[in-house]
Chains A and B, each alone.
Chain A
Amino acid sequence: DAGVTQSPTHLIKTRGQQVTLRCSPKSGHDTVSWYQQALGQGPQFIFQYYEEEERQRGNFPDRFSGHQFPNYSSELNVNALLLGDSALYLCASNKMGGLRSNEQFFGPGTRLTVL
C-alpha cells in the first residue's frame, strides 16, 4: 500500500520564479493538505483540497495556489518566489468522514531553496 508521495524531492529556484510541487495521496484517501515547514519551526497549514475544491486556507498570500485532480492528487503552486519561501513543503492526506477520518499521513516532503 503506497503511502503519500511527493515530487520533486529537492528544488532550487531563484527569486521571482514560479514553482509547482506535486503530491499523490495515500491509497483510499480523498483529502490533501499542504504545509510549509521553515527550518527549526513546526509545520504551518497552507490549504486543504477535497472534491477538487479548496476547503480550508491558512494565512498565506495569494501567491500560493493549488489544485486537486479527479484522481485526488494535488499540486501546490507558488508564484513570485521570495527568499522566505525556502522551506520543506509537506503534503498530508486523509479520508474525509469515518471514525478516524482525521488522521493525516504525511509525505516525505519537497525541500525548496530560493536563491
Chain B
Amino acid sequence: ELKVEQNPLFLSMQEGKNYTIYCNYSTTSDRLYWYRQDPGKSLESLFVLLSNGAVKQEGRLMASLDTKARLSTLHITAAVHDLSATYFCAVDAIQGAQKLVFGQGTRLTINP
C-alpha cells in the first residue's frame, strides 16, 4: 500500500527566511503533485512533477522530484506572509489512474 509522508507537519518561520518541506513516498511513481490549501478552502494546484529530476519554480516556491529516492521537496525562498497555508504532496496510487494518495500536509505559518 502506497504511503506518503511529509515533514515537517508544522512549520513556523519568519519572513525572509528559506525553508524546505520534504515528501517521501513508499512505492515507485513518476508523478507527484503539490497543492496549497488555505483554511476552509479547497486545494489549489501548485506543481505537477512528471519525471525524475523535474524541477519547477513559481515565484518563491520551487519543487523538485527524485524518483530514485522517492523524494520530492518544496523549497520556499525569502518567505512572505502570503505563503502561510497548508501544503500537501500527493502521488498516484496506480500510475496514470489519478487515484491520489496525499501526505498529511505541512501547516506553514510565516510571521512578520
Binding site for B on A (CB under 8 A): 31, 33, 35, 41-45, 48, 55-56, 58, 90, 92, 94, 100-109
Contacts A100-B48, A107-B42, A109-B42: A41 and B99 contacting too (C-beta < 8 A)?
Answer: no
User: B45 and A42: CB pair below 8 A?
Assistant: no
Size category of the binding interface on chain B: 20 to 34
Binding site for A on B (CB under 8 A): 4, 31, 33, 35, 41-45, 48, 88, 90, 92-94, 96-105
The smallest beta-carbon distance between A83 and chain B, in angstroms, is: 20
Between-chain CB contacts (< 8 Å), 9 pairs: A42-B4, A45-B100, A48-B98, A56-B99, A90-B42, A92-B98, A102-B96, A104-B33, A109-B41
Cβ 8 A contact of B92, one of A31, A44, A102: A102
A55 to B102, CA, bound (A): 19
Cβ 8 A contact of A103, one of B44, B48, B88: B48
A91 to B54, CA, bound (A): 27
For the complex with contacts A33-B100, A102-B92, A103-B45, 6 further pairs of A-B residues with Cβ separation under 8 Å are A31-B98, A48-B98, A92-B98, A100-B48, A102-B96, A103-B48
* In the complex, number of A-B residue pairs with CB atoms less than 8 Å apart: 62
The smallest beta-carbon distance between A115 and chain B, in angstroms, is: 19
**Top 10 A-B pairs, shortest CB-CB distance:** A42-B102, A106-B43, A56-B99, A108-B42, A106-B42, A102-B98, A109-B42, A43-B102, A103-B48, A42-B105
A100 to B96, CA, bound (A): 10
Cβ 8 A contact of B94, one of A56, A94, A103: A56
